[in-house]
Chain A
Amino acid sequence: MRARSAVLASLASAAILLIGWQAGSEASTPGGTTADATTPGAGTPSGSTGSTAAGKSAGPPAAGAKDGTFDGRQIRTRYGTMQVRTTIAGGKITDIVPLKLTDVGSLSGEIDRQAVPMLRSEVLSSQSAKVHTIAGATYTSQGYLSSLQAALDAANFKG
């Protein structure tokens, strides 16, 4: 390969990688910010600005959501298939019940017992499936959140 082509090829490769990296980090950041924004709503009595901010983030986006229970897609993970059911009432996620949990490997049950309640509370407080995965329970988190996202999409819930 001639030098000029080699330079062009590496620049183009770098650009593609950068776009991929950017897309990857954008997909994970919204979960972080909404989790922060909802903390004042969870019970700080101080300023009125905080509560309006919380109201804004939880209120309007859910406008088109249907009420009811919705089953998510079955998500196959390395440790088994996961599926969750979510309940939406008054435009808010009120409950999430696991229908299928990971069952492959000796530690799956134990990991799920710890991770699922953490995921549930994270989601309920942030009103979104875009929350951080739980360290040490990557597969459970990904399966749980992907299935949940599918259920939310079915409910036309925009979190």
Chain B
Amino acid sequence: MSRTRTTEERTTSPPQRERYLRRARLADSLETIVWLTVALVLALFLADGGLAEFKTVPGTFTALGIIAGLVGTDLMLVQLLLAARLPVIDRAFGHDHALLVHQRMGKPVFYLISAHMVLLWIGYALTARLNVFAEIWDMFTTLPDMKIAYLGYGLLTVVVITSLVIVRRKFPYEAWHVVHFLAYAAVLAALPHQFSTGQLFADGTWARYYWLALYFGVAAALLVYRFIVPMLRTLRHDLRVSNVVAEAPGVYSIEMTGRSLADLRVRGGQFFIWRFWSRGLWWHAHPFSLSAAPGILRLKVTVRELGGGTSELGALRIGTRVSIEGPYGLFTDRARTTRRAVAVAAGIGITPIISLLEQGDFAPGEMTVIVRAPDEKGLYLHQELQKLCIKKSAALCVLLGRRPKKGHDSWLPARDASRHVSLSTIVPEVRDADVFVCGPRGWTDLVVEDAKQAGVPKFRIHYERFSW
């Protein structure tokens, strides 16, 4: 009796679940390693007799300041790793999610580094029996490498302020990105005082080996995966624009051909960061998802003019060289956790869903595609989508109409929202499905919220948002 039940369970446990469990284990292991590095940094401080500092009041301030600096530096290096496009991080969390965590860590890390500075001012001032301002001056003028450390702190402040959402919107992406690279300079500027004043790399301590390994590891990862690998891929695959098709006013499909594209191992739904080497465009790097299953000879993206260099894309000449970073992203059938899937897209957000469905291993009836647009003209690549849904026996649901004007609190057209349509009324089995969402930021957040309301667990919601 029990035997039949186990076989049944085995057959009903889909391969997607196995794959998800493997990925979850990997993700948890990586997260655990981060926590362990924090514990290790504290343990190294304790092993070095750090506890003795807490016997006096000035010592307590100093020790807390040192701890804040150590943990802050450790986490800042983790932040750099999250942005380093490490394949293992992309596989476990997806590039977008990794960058989201990177962004969320920004403020706490900045607070830790600030606390490091302020607590040490107080601790040293108390030890030297000076007032805090005299001590700050004293440190600035007499301590080795302190001037450049302050410069590093200044750079870090600029990086953090320009990354605050309100401020960031005011800059073009490229300007913000260049400023963001100052973070590397900030980390480097902080290094000398860690050697001389901080004794972080003092001879004969275990801490020395830990920090050396961490700094060199992060530097190597950044160099290899952010610069060398993309460069080699660009050279090797030698992508060129082979065709530009106007799909609708302001919407273009760009096809590219290249060598040995199969070796890129792209999955449908992934994106590259593209750079088209033509006048006026080369300094923009665009993250575009594939809008067709990656071919052995051809890659295709479909883009809508949204400013920031996208307006010149329609005028791209055949033969233009293209450099790539990627493929990145976990918006693929690898992200699935179960058999059923629901894909929800708005406007040009349909592109990764087409390549996902085209390449993904979806059995008949497993996938439901929901597309929303203000009117029929806003349905991009619609013929291709219809053909594909027929070929894959996927259900297709098209929602046309303007969204409610007031507050934009629904992802649905106004008419459907007022009739209390929701994800769970369109697809009643959504609770047991993976939900893939792609669209503008605010809209995507609303769909994700609706999915959660419908009882879809967080690990089954996969999304890609266009605005940076």
A residues sitting closer than 8 Å to B (CB atoms) are: 1-2, 5, 8-10, 12-14, 16-17, 19-21, 23-25, 27-28, 76, 78-79, 104-107, 133, 135-136, 138-139
CA distance A151 to B46 in the complex (A): 25
Find residues 292-330 in chain B having any chain A CB closer than 8 Å to their own CB.
Answer: none
CA distance A19 to B36 in the complex (A): 13
CA distance A19 to B47 in the complex (A): 8
Main secondary structure of the interface of A (DSSP, over half): helix
Using A1-B28, A19-B43 as known contacts, list a sample of 7 further A-B pairs with CB atoms less than 8 Å apart, ordered by residue number in A: A5-B28, A9-B36, A14-B39, A20-B42, A23-B46, A76-B199, A138-B59
Query: A25: which of B39, B51, B55, B138 is its contact (CB, 8 Å)?
Result: B51
Query: B32: which of A5, A14, A27, A106 is its contact (CB, 8 Å)?
Result: A5
Q: Min CB distance, B201 to chain A, in Å?
A: 12
Q: Which residues of B contact A133 (CB under 8 A)?
A: 52
B32 touches A12 (CB 8 A): yes
CA distance A36 to B90 in the complex (A): 58
A1 touches B39 (CB 8 A): no
B38 touches A13 (CB 8 A): yes
CA distance A4 to B37 in the complex (A): 19
Query: B143: which of A5, A104, A106 is its contact (CB, 8 Å)?
Result: A104
Q: How many residues of B contact A (CB 8 A)?
A: 38
Main secondary structure of the interface of B (DSSP, over half): helix
- Say yes or no: A23-B47 contact (C-beta < 8 A), given A12-B36, A78-B143, A138-B53: yes
Q: Which residues of B contact A24 (CB under 8 A)?
A: 46-52
- Say yes or no: A20-B45 contact (C-beta < 8 A), given A12-B36, A13-B36, A104-B143: yes
B142 touches A13 (CB 8 A): no
Q: Is B424 an interface residue (CB 8 A)?
A: no
- Say yes or no: A27-B47 contact (C-beta < 8 A), given A9-B31, A9-B35: yes
Q: Which residues of B contact A28 (CB under 8 A)?
A: 49, 52
Q: Which residues of B contact A105 (CB under 8 A)?
A: 128, 130, 138, 142
CA distance A16 to B32 in the complex (A): 13
A17 touches B56 (CB 8 A): no
CA distance A133 to B43 in the complex (A): 21
Q: Is B24 an interface residue (CB 8 A)?
A: yes
Which 9 pairs from chain A and chain B are nearest by CB?
A: A20-B43, A13-B39, A5-B28, A23-B47, A20-B46, A9-B32, A16-B39, A24-B46, A20-B47
A21 touches B199 (CB 8 A): no
Q: Is B44 an interface residue (CB 8 A)?
A: yes
A17 touches B46 (CB 8 A): yes
CA distance A59 to B140 in the complex (A): 49
Chain A residue at smallest Cβ distance from B25: A5
- Say yes or no: A16-B40 contact (C-beta < 8 A), given A9-B35, A105-B128, A105-B142: yes
